[in-house]
Chains A and B, each alone.
Chain A
């Protein structure tokens, strides 16, 4: 394994490093996750180049960095991907002396379940899952269980994501959304199959335009996407379901393979600056994990109940945890059953 890696590294070095790019930082991030000036300002201030590329799913990113010689320096896994990446030895240990801005983080995100001491990951942006709905729907949904009511028929969408669909069904039944129990998961699968005749489709962010246009009246969706839809159509509203809802926290990590650990730390520390983080959150309409950035946000973002729900709502939030391989396999099988039902 090691020799193969070395051989591959040599090939990679021969092919990609024709020009010396010691001063080029390679950043692989989710789409729409930096402000237009975030990267140029960093380049100017630190006298380097940044190669910036985007991905749309954790799996896409994982497939690229798994080899351990992907050429990326900083990537942004969701929190529950951090432990597996650490186990696979993909992550560099963070040098906190090089991250003086770390205390800027919101206390709620200083000790995420996936990396309580922030040894390998720095919380960046977060979102939660809830229900986006059109206000003309009567009665307005307040619980996951409301998404099983027949009046939605043909105008309801669920996320095309097994973890999210299971989370809604499990919470509806009163189980933990991270359940590994076969009986509970099977019960959740039956719920999802029962709900399927009401569904228009399983859609992720694509649902935004259809909710704005009025084709879709209700959707299980992430808070950040919901916020974009609400801004485009005032008839839309968002609710955090009463049974509890999942939290997702995207984190910046530095890959072990990176030969530019110093520059990578400088970049992560730069992202932790309140003004940089606030600018990103304002322009991309995301929720920052940076507490010091909150007061700098535009007032309509700062007090937005969708992006930053009040503490009593946050009390119902539950972190997604890393799924064990056995549970993952069962979940996948049940998901395939849902999809082919």
Chain B
């Protein structure tokens, strides 16, 4: 039995060690080294990369990333909740189809889908062409290359991550509780606010975390839809490994970002634990 367990767990353990632990250790080591003249890392060991993190310039970028990720997360939850509720209330057959549709975008690469958004949003793009040909607007709206476009792109990209945990939460919701609420005179809105949402708190939190974390590290969306005008922390990291050729500093930012995410996760898990008690 024990041996069987070892055998079956070995692939995932190997996977974790090779693809997660080893690269992570390399990043940790890099973050304490000095940048090579033309990329790469050299000695001596130093803490300087971490000291540089406290530069207010990077604080501004972190703050912007936090604001935009929070905004995208809230929008995702607001859009995903009714959708998840709708799917959870559908017949079993329809549920399968709807869930299938939610994950359908994953069939194509995120990069390609982001480019599709560029075609939708640009001056001579789909939306502006329709609006101008209907004479609703005369000059094309500046939809692409601003922070709104970035948030729209983030919401679009991570919406399925919000729908799925909310659905599984709402799907398991005991219908008797809703009926009791109605029997006891609660209006549908009251049932929603006083029964469904509190019971869905774990699902909402899970959905929020699943959207917020990738948003915080996003670099493709701000780059393509933001036109490189307002960089997020992901772009800062990417830049260190490309044009700036400062791998140690890039590693230090990555680790600092990971630490921040961990703190957020742990505090959320604590909350979950307290509620369970």
Footprint of B on A, CB under 8 Å? Answer: 57, 59-60, 62-63, 66, 84-85, 87-88, 154, 157, 160-162, 196, 199-203, 210, 213-215, 325, 328-329, 332-333, 335-337, 339-340
Q: CA separation between A143 and B124, bound complex, in Å?
A: 28
Footprint of A on B, CB under 8 Å? Answer: 35, 37-40, 57-58, 60-61, 64, 122-124, 140, 142, 144-145, 226-231, 235-236, 239, 241-246
Q: CA separation between A85 and B36, bound complex, in Å?
A: 12
Closest-CB distance, B192 to chain A (whole angstroms): 41
**Complex contact A336–B227 (CB within 8 A):** no
A154-B142, A213-B122, A340-B61 as given contacts; A59 in contact with B245, CB under 8 Å: yes
A62-B39, A154-B142, A336-B57 as given contacts; A202 in contact with B243, CB under 8 Å: no
**Complex contact A339–B228 (CB within 8 A):** yes
**Complex contact B227–A66 (CB within 8 A):** no
Closest to A215 in B: B123
**Complex contact A336–B236 (CB within 8 A):** yes
**Complex contact A202–B227 (CB within 8 A):** yes
Closest-CB distance, B29 to chain A (whole angstroms): 14
Question: Can you pick out 27 interface pairs between chain A and chain B where the beta carbons lie within 8 Å of each other?
Answer: A59-B242, A63-B39, A63-B241, A66-B39, A66-B40, A84-B38, A87-B37, A157-B227, A161-B243, A199-B227, A200-B145, A201-B145, A201-B226, A201-B227, A201-B228, A202-B227, A203-B228, A213-B123, A214-B123, A215-B122, A215-B123, A333-B57, A335-B244, A336-B61, A337-B57, A339-B228, A339-B235
Q: Which 6 residue pairs of A and B lie closest in terms of their CB atoms, listed nearest first?
A: A201-B227, A202-B228, A332-B244, A215-B123, A84-B38, A201-B145
Q: CA separation between A336 and B242, bound complex, in Å?
A: 13
Interface centre among A85, A214, A328, A336 (most CB of B within 10 A): A336
Closest to A159 in B: B228
**Complex contact B227–A200 (CB within 8 A):** yes
Residues of A within 8 A of B239 (CB): 332, 335-336
Which one, A60, A199, A203, A329, contacts B246 given CB within 8 A? A329
Q: How many A-B residue pairs have CB under 8 A?
A: 84
Closest-CB distance, A304 to chain B (whole angstroms): 27
Closest-CB distance, A294 to chain B (whole angstroms): 33
Which one, A60, A66, A213, A340, contacts B230 given CB within 8 A? A340
Closest-CB distance, B125 to chain A (whole angstroms): 8
A59-B243, A340-B60 as given contacts; A325 in contact with B37, CB under 8 Å: yes
Interface centre among B122, B145, B242 (most CB of A within 10 A): B145
Residues of B within 8 A of A214 (CB): 123-124
Q: CA separation between A88 and B40, bound complex, in Å?
A: 11
Which one, A85, A161, A340, contacts B57 given CB within 8 A? A340
Q: CA separation between A340 and B122, bound complex, in Å?
A: 23
Residues of A within 8 A of B229 (CB): 196, 199, 201-202, 339
**Complex contact A203–B245 (CB within 8 A):** no
**Complex contact B244–A328 (CB within 8 A):** yes
